[in-house]
């Protein structure tokens, strides 16, 4: 049994979880703030959404939890911590995401 690294989970989310409105992965959008895999076999994922009223929010959050748990069955828990601090803004996106959306 081997637990995934923080980076393994971040890469999984990058590959499998897109914002359904923007059709872009949520890591490059800057929505994943922190990933921590604990010795107690849990993944603690701190993330945000583009706005508190994001209509796709519940879908995005459940996708992060489901995809992480499915890909790494040795994790006993996948906990999502939704935060608004700092509040998301387009500067948090990767350069590739900014380029794809035409933000300079």
Residue 72 sits in a domain whose CATH number is: 3.30.300.130
The confidence score (pLDDT) of residue 2 equals: 87
Domain span including residue 32: 6-91
Q: How confident is the model at residue 1 (pLDDT cuts 50, 70, 90)?
A: low
Residue 84 lies in a domain: yes
Q: Which residue has the tokens 């914002």?
A: 19
The confidence score (pLDDT) of residue 69 equals: 95
If one counts the domains in the chain, the total is: 1
Q: What percent of the chain has pLDDT over 90?
A: 91
Residue 102 lies in a domain: no
Residue 38 lies in a domain: yes
Q: How far apart are CA 93 and CA 44, in angstroms?
A: 21
Cβ burial, residue 88 (10 Å; 0-12/13-18/19+): buried
Q: Which residue has the tokens 């796709």?
A: 56
Residue 100 lies in a domain: no
Residue 103 lies in a domain: no
Residue 78 has pLDDT above 90, yes or no: yes
The string of pLDDT tens digits covering residues 63-77 is 999 999 999 999 999
């Amino acid at each position: 049994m081997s637990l995934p690294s923080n980076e393994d989970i971040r890469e999984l989310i990058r590959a499998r979880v897109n914002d359904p409105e923007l059709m872009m992965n949520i890591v490059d959008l800057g929505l994943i703030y922190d990933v921590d895999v604990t010795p107690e076999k849990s993944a603690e994922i701190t993330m945000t959404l583009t706005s508190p009223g994001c209509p796709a929010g519940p879908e995005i959050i459940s996708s992060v939890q489901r995809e992480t748990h499915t890909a790494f069955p040795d994790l006993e828990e996948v906990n999502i911590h939704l935060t608004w601090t700092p509040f998301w803004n387009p500067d948090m996106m990767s350069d590739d995401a900014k380029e794809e959306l035409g933000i300079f």
